[in-house]
């Protein structure tokens, strides 16, 4: 199975890009699914901490602090959860799209199990609604200097060209 990791700041269009890629790849006959490192985290936040599913100031704080707790106990906790699901589904799908890579280790672990394309997405016209503390949290800053395979700027003429290049690369 091939993997596509997507990184970028909160609100920059990671999930939107994942859905676009999934649609295009499926139209070319590929079996594709989208999974997030944070899916397990969100399940715990919802079922244990009564998070309402909204990424407002309170929700973002819950997710960042709970993620910190999980990584303090085991740096690989969320990574291993996702890798287990990828291993379970590897014979049933061609491509997994992971639109929430937040740390170098999350991308490198995907590369260790197979072909992985890393993408960074930036929405040039976006004004962050995160608090200063949330914006400076390690989940928002850990990949600031990472070297990606592709960089996409949304709502630009280059966006379509880059998406087509990624599709050609993955197929």
Mean pLDDT confidence for 118-125: 89
* CATH 3.40.50.2000 fits domain 2-170: no
**pLDDT value of residue 77:** 92
- What is the distance between the alpha carbons of residues 155 and 145, in angstroms, rounded to a whole number? 23
Residue 155 has pLDDT above 80, yes or no: no
List, for residues 37-75, the tens digit of each pLDDT value.
999 999 999 999 999 999 888 998 999 999 999 999 999
3-state secondary structure 104-158: HHHHHHHHHHCCEEEEEEECCCCCCCCCHHHHCCHHHHCCCCCCCCEEEECCCHH
Please give the average per-residue pLDDT across 140-165, as a whole number. 87
Interval 72-108: pLDDT, tens: 999 999 999 999 999 999 999 999 999 999 899 999 9
């Amino acid at each position: 199975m091939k993997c596509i990791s997507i990184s970028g700041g909160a609100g920059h269009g990671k999930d939107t890009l994942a859905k676009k890629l999934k649609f295009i790849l499926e139209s070319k006959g590929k079996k594709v699914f989208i999974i997030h490192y944070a899916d397990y985290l969100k399940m715990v936040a919802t079922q244990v901490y009564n998070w309402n599913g909204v990424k407002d100031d309170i929700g973002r704080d819950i997710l960042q602090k709970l993620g910190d707790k999980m990584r303090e106990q085991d740096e690989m906790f969320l990574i291993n959860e996702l890798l287990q699901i990828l291993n379970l589904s590897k014979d049933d799908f061609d491509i997994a799209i992971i639109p929430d890579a937040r740390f170098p280790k999350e991308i490198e672990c995907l590369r260790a199990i197979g072909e992985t394309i890393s993408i960074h997405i930036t929405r040039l016209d976006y004004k962050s609604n995160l608090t200063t503390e949330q914006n400076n949290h390690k989940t928002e800053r850990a990949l600031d200097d990472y070297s990606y395979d592709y960089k996409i700027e949304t709502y630009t003429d280059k966006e379509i060209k880059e998406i087509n290049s990624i599709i050609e690369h993955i197929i």
